[in-house]
């Protein structure tokens, strides 16, 4: 590779653009130029007033020193052609275009809040703002790809902001229509198309490009917005381009440890050297960034075969579902067996608990009945014994008068009788006994 390279939109070319005459205060066509906004890759951008409608617009003018270069003239007109066929809410629209004294210009919507590059001048962006920017630029990029247009120069200075904090894609000056001019320009030549700090490895090598090259550039922007610095640094644009092809980027959290691990894994994937290992679309990347910034798990985020980064959530749900499946919601073959396995022990447990209660109840009832029978026997025995006593008493009472009568029957000895009579009386009594 030769170090003799002149990267488009490099510092040298921006210096050339900045050295052109200042057109502030002049009038071009129906537009009054107010002041310089900035210097683009191949044009100077002014803030101007459209006289007919009394509105402020952005006026992009090709510097006079580039008017003799057919390459720059073709790129300027290509931007008009491409942007005029792209209508998306996050692509800066073209209001008008024309030439004034042979100097071409493009009239575009004025974006007063500047660019993402201006925001990065103050340091890393807030994660919420970074996510919002990616979510707005991604669909615009996918829309351009659906129309067969590759941007090829996606970078922070080409993302403009409005007063509401919304992001817009601009500067299709070196965009390519897919199917046209597919040969590419190698980094070994004098003309490198794109900005080395953001170009994909295949773009730096002059290989055929597709939408994944722009997605890589969006990934470099994502890295820079989160870390506040670009992943690759070198003394020359050529050196940066070489690193894009040969070196691995530093991990995001090695620069900013406060960032989520999941976001680091998203960045690792989008900056893969091989295009087929990156996200298949810019929207898929944006969804992965949103999931990571919301605290979602990063599992499966780095797998290249996933069509969308939302699939890991479904896989986790499918994996987690059998852990505690409601039978009505997940009627899988395993569910009935699991339900029976849970329910079968319950009758046994209930039966074992009730068995001691029945035994104790039976024993208690048996004891009560036994006590009752014993008491009944005691009562009967007492009654029997009591009855015998009454009979014996009655018999003794009945005999007692007879005895009394027997003893009262004999006459008393006559003490006044003679001794013989008295003896007979006594003897007669003895005989009676």
Cα 187 from Cα 5, distance rounded (Å): 7
Residues pairing with 159 in the sheet: 169
Start-end of H helices in 210-281: 211-227, 237-246, 252-255, 261-270
Instruction: State yes or no: is 153 an active-site residue.
Output: yes
Question: Would you list the DSSP string of 113-156?
Answer: T-BHHHHHTTSSPPHHHHHHHHHHHHHHHHHHHHTTEE-S---G
List the structure tokens of 78.
């290509």
In a 10 Å sphere around its CB, with 0-12 CB exposed, 13-18 middle and 19+ buried, how is residue 325 labelled?
middle
Q: Sign of dihedral through CA atoms 419, 423, 426, 428?
A: negative
Q: DSSP secondary-structure letter at 278?
A: S
Catalytic residue, chosen from 142, 153, 171, 214, is 153
CB atoms within 10 A of CB 106: 24
Cα 149 from Cα 177, distance rounded (Å): 5
Query: Which residues are known to be catalytic?
Result: 153
């Amino acid at each position: 590779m030769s170090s003799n390279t002149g990267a488009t939109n490099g510092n040298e070319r921006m210096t050339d653009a900045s050295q052109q005459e200042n057109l502030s205060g002049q009038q071009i066509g129906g537009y009054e130029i107010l002041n310089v906004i900035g210097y683009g890759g191949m044009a100077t951008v002014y803030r101007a007033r459209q006289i007919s409608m009394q509105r402020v617009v952005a006026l992009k003018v090709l510097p006079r020193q580039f008017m003799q270069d057919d390459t720059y003239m073709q790129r300027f007109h290509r931007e008009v052609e491409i942007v005029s066929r792209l209508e998306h809410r996050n692509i800066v629209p073209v209001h008008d275009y024309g030439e004034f004294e042979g100097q071409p210009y493009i009239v575009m919507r004025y974006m007063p809040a500047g660019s993402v590059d201006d925001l990065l001048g103050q340091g890393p962006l807030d994660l919420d703002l970074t996510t919002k920017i990616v979510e707005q630029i991604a669909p615009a990029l996918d829309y351009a790809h659906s129309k067969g247009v590759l941007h090829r120069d996606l970078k922070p200075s080409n993302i403009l902001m409005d007063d509401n904090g919304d992001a817009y894609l601009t500067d299709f000056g070196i965009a390519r229509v897919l199917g046209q001019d597919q040969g590419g320009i190698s980094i070994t030549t004098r003309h490198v198309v794109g900005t080395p700090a953001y170009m994909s490895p295949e773009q730096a090598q002059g290989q055929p490009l597709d939408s994944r090259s722009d997605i890589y550039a969006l990934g470099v922007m994502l890295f820079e917005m989160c870390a506040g610095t670009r992943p690759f640094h070198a003394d020359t644009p050529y050196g940066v381009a070489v690193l894009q092809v040969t070196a691995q980027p530093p991990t995001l959290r090695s620069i900013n440890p406060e960032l989520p691990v999941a976001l680091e894994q998203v960045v690792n994937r989008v900056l893969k050297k091989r295009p087929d290992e990156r996200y298949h679309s810019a929207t898929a990347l944006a969804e992965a960034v949103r999931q990571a910034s919301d605290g979602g798990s990063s599992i499966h985020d780095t797998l290249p075969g996933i069509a969308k980064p939302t699939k890991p959530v479904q896989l986790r749900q499918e994996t987690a579902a059998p852990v505690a499946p409601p039978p009505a919601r997940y009627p899988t073959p395993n569910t009935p067996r699991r339900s029976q396995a849970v329910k079968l022990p319950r009758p046994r447990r209930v039966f074992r608990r009730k068995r001691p209660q029945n035994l104790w109840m039976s024993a208690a009832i048996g004891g009560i009945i036994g006590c009752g029978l014993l008491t009944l026997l005691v009562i009967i025995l007492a009654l029997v014994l009591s009855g015998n006593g009454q009979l014996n008493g009655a018999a003794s009472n009945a005999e007692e008068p007879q005895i009394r009568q027997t003893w009262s029957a004999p006459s008393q000895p006559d003490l006044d009788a003679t001794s013989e009579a008295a003896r007979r009386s006594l003897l007669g009594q003895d005989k009676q006994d």
